[in-house]
Amino acid sequence: MDSIQKQSAYLKTLFFLFFIGLGISSPFFGIFYKHVIVHADGAPAIGLIGLIFFVMPLVSLLANIPAGILADKFHSGKHLITLFCFGVALFAALIGLVGEDFARDWTANGKFIYIFVLLLFLNGFFYPIMPMLDAETLLFLNKHSRREFYGAYRLWGTYGWSVSTILMGGLLFYFRHAPLIFYCTALAFTVLGFVAWSGIEAKPTAAPIIIPWSHLKKDILFRWFLLFIFLHGVVTASSFTYTGYFFDDVLRTPLEIGFILGTWAIFEIPVMMFSRELIDRFGNRWLIISGLLLSGIRLILFSFFTLETPFFWKWAAALLHGPGYGLSQLGIIDFVDRRAHPGMRATYLNIATVARISLASSLGGILGSMLIERWGGAFLMQFCGWVTIAMIFFFVFLVRRRGRRG
């Protein structure tokens, strides 16, 4: 296997392992909070949980852009990915401890403070990993292949997500022990850290580059696009953050939750496999529009779920997630990469992540908790579904070009 093939396999492995960690953690964190941060009467402290979902994404404001600049300036993406994975693993293991018997008598406020402080550190390490992994992949593809093959690499993340969510749902079904969510997250990111470390090459250190900030200042279309993904991020965060929480009310067992979360990405696989053909034929604009439409329909269908709804129909509606997310993700990544200066790829992707994740997710998290507290999870899903569809018109109005650059 030559060096190019090794690098290709290395990047695909990183995607696979990262999404294993993401699948274990992201959909199930809400369930952990729901069962651990509870009042004396056993009711979930939804106000405190909402505060977690509001504040944590703001950490990316401090973490992502500096990480992207360091990765671009010193060519240190793999080093930073390795460091951040070990950081996530450490703080995930510590958070899991609060769900053990020794903390049973802690008050809801005491558990909240413990979890909140450690989550600040965990998320500071977590948020920059994905955009830097994207940047390393696009850097490799632009040098040795074509950026349109990004989906063939991201596809391995879909495999990792499907495997991990199903297994996590099964573990929770059989062991009924919420701390397993954080312990398994710690294990997954430890393995990812060692694999990322193995790909660091011993070679002369490249000279630091001068970041071409003038390119970013002149990129008006990219700024409009940031506004769009910020507003879309608010809606996406409102629904996705509370998906596990909502499913805990309308599905009968953690095994059902894990099965749906694990298989709802099935139809993301053909989207990623044929990413080059889709981008060449339709361009990133139509991929984003199609993804928004499918995601909106899925959320509206979710709003009709009850415990009595046959499981098959819940699963069938959830399958819209795969093409919806896959198409919009491909479109967004392709758009951002085409706007990016070759020396600012990690910076551009981290800026885009901040727009989608930081303040957007914070506002989405608190909005979601407010809507659930007042009208319930079904209303939240329906609200987010209709707003997602409305975002199509906003996107077409703001961004009237495909964003193709060279």
Ramachandran assignment for 403, one of left (phi > 0), alpha (psi -120 to 50 degrees), beta (any other): left
> Which neighbouring-strand residues pair with 55?
none
- The token duo for 70 is 């360091």
Q: Where are the domains of the chain?
A: 3-200+210-398
The beta-carbon contacts of 250-253 under 8 Å, at least 24 apart in sequence, are 250/305, 250/306, 250/307, 250/309, 250/314, 250/377, 251/307, 251/311, 251/314, 252/307, 253/173
**Residue in this structure with the two tokens 């959320």, named with its chain if needed:** 299
pLDDT over threshold 70, residue 226: yes
Residue 212, pLDDT score: 65
Q: pTM for this one?
A: 0.79
Q: What is the arithmetic mean of pLDDT over 104-130?
A: 95
CATH superfamily of this structure's domain 3-200+210-398: MFS general substrate transporter like domains (1.20.1250.20)
Bridge partners, residue 38, by sequence = 44
* 38 φ/ψ angles, rounded to the nearest 5 degrees: -130, 150
- How do residues 200-222 score in pLDDT, each as one tens digit? 875 545 555 555 667 777 888 88
For residue range 253-296, what is the model confidence (pLDDT) as tens digits? 888 888 898 888 889 999 998 988 999 899 888 999 999 999 99
Please tell me which residue, 144 or 99, carries the higher pLDDT value. 99
Mean pLDDT calculated for residue range 118-128: 95
Q: Give the pLDDT score at 33.
A: 93
Q: What are phi and psi of 186, to 5 degrees?
A: -60, -45
Which tokens go with 109?
A: 């406020």
Cβ(187)–Cβ(86) below 8 Å: no
Q: For the chain, how many helices (H) and strands (E)?
A: 18, 0
The predicted model gives 66-79 an average pLDDT of: 85
Cβ atoms of 345 and 30 within 8 Å: the answer is no
**324-362: pLDDT as tens digits:** 999 999 999 888 888 877 777 778 888 888 888 777 888
Q: What is the pLDDT of residues 7-26, one digit of tens each?
A: 999 999 999 999 999 999 98
Using the predicted structure, report yes or no on whether residue 165 has a pLDDT greater than 80: yes
